[in-house]
A and B are shown apart, each in its own frame.
Chain A
């Protein structure tokens, strides 16, 4: 019954490494989102995508990039990981507003990244 799958639950990387976080959804959602969650700061939007190959910056895109080559897959890329990118990363997806007024987000289980 899993609908949004994040490929890695826990990752440990070293400073300067390139990191890929993968997210796959099986609900045919147009919208996909990447957030990072830090205590006291809530969820902050990194990037989102509303269609294949389309992406928009969120509130904290610096140091990140994304890729959406297929509708079901949205990847978050850290080109050169830094210690301040240690965080929980949450992927989510939804239908567009026009299909469902509520366009509720469905979240993955999260990927906890530690950068040493």
Chain B
């Protein structure tokens, strides 16, 4: 069963506008971590932002913020003031494994974001 769902295969946003990329997850572990990665057309994977399950505040990193709603098991990425360089695939990921001694990181199917000039 898929543990990370990204329901938006493709999104368009006007340059300078804000955009929200959806991510929902499923885990029974009380301790977990959530990540967002960006993959431009060049193929490299770029870490954007992290949220721990016990973090009290939503994570922010520059123009990126993570809208973490624990009860709903959602971790949406908000990109403010979109730029042309934001056009890329975006992946939501989860680290789980509190019950074990190691870390397992799984990814969602991704959302393709296109920024329109």
Contact = CB atoms under 8 A, between A and B. Distances in A.
Contacts of A31: 102-103
Contact of A33 (B37, B50, B105, B110): B105
Interface residues of B, number: 25
Interface residues of A, number: 29
A40 B109 CA distance: 6
Interface string B89-109: 001010101000111111111
A20 to B, nearest CB: 21
Given A97-B103, A107-B44, A109-B44, 7 more contacts: A40-B109, A42-B91, A43-B93, A101-B33, A102-B52, A104-B35, A104-B47
Contacts of B6: 42
17 contacts: A31-B102, A33-B105, A35-B107, A41-B109, A42-B91, A45-B106, A48-B104, A50-B101, A50-B102, A58-B104, A58-B106, A94-B103, A94-B105, A96-B102, A97-B95, A105-B35, A107-B45
Contacts of A43: 91, 93, 107
The majority secondary structure among interface residues of chain A is: strand
Given A40-B9, A42-B107, A43-B107, A48 B43 contact: no
Contacts of B103: 31, 50, 94, 96-97, 103
A104 B9 CA distance: 24
Contact of B95 (A40, A56, A103, A109): A103
Contacts of B93: 43, 105
Contact of B45 (A48, A56, A97, A105): A105
A26 B102 CA distance: 20
A42 B109 contact: yes
A103 B102 contact: no
Interface string A17-43: 000000000000001010100001111
Rank and list the top 3 A-B pairs by shortest CB-CB distance, nearest first: A50-B102, A42-B109, A43-B107
